[in-house]
Amino acid sequence: MEEADKDKCKGGRPMKGITQRKKRVVSIRFSEVEYYAIKRRASLAGMTVSAYSHSAIMDGKIVEPVKKEDMDLLRKLSGEANNLNQLARQANTYRMPYLEKEVKNVLNSVTDIINKLSDDWKNNKRKKL
């Protein structure tokens, strides 16, 4: 169209600015099962697959996975808590109230540490990528 013709066509939506135009394409491959799962989620959200994918990518949160070393530490700490719990039971069974009280204090401390670590991991307080 020539410049004179553009001035005559005043209807329609205004052109988007250069920064608002979506002209870059990112390709991603999914298995059949994954594709239909995404398609279902998009339809439940009332969106097209493209709009849903765009929103998920732009608004999604990626967090650092829990490291193997951290999981090993948590398992060891959990094992120690288990051992302390067994000691507390034996102290209670054999009527050693002074030992029972000390063991329960240590057990509560270890349990608090485990719960705090678990909550941090569950609540995504890890480094966001």
Entry pTM: 0.43
Sign of CA pseudo-dihedral 112, 113, 117, 118? negative
Does residue 72 share a domain with residue 55? no
Alpha carbons 16 and 34: distance in angstroms, whole number = 33
Does residue 74 share a domain with residue 34? no
| Domain-located, residue 88 | yes
DSSP letter for 10, please.
-
DSSP letter for 124, please.
T
| Domain-located, residue 35 | yes
Domain boundary among 60, 84, 107: 60
For residue 80, give its domain range.
68-122
* Total of domains in the chain: 2
| Domain-located, residue 99 | yes
The tens digit of pLDDT for each residue in 8-58 reads 667 888 888 888 888 888 899 999 999 999 999 989 989 999 989 988 888
Does residue 54 share a domain with residue 72? no
Alpha carbons 94 and 107: distance in angstroms, whole number = 18
Q: Are 129 and 63 in contact (CB under 8 A)?
A: yes
Rounded to an integer, the average pLDDT of 81-103 is: 80
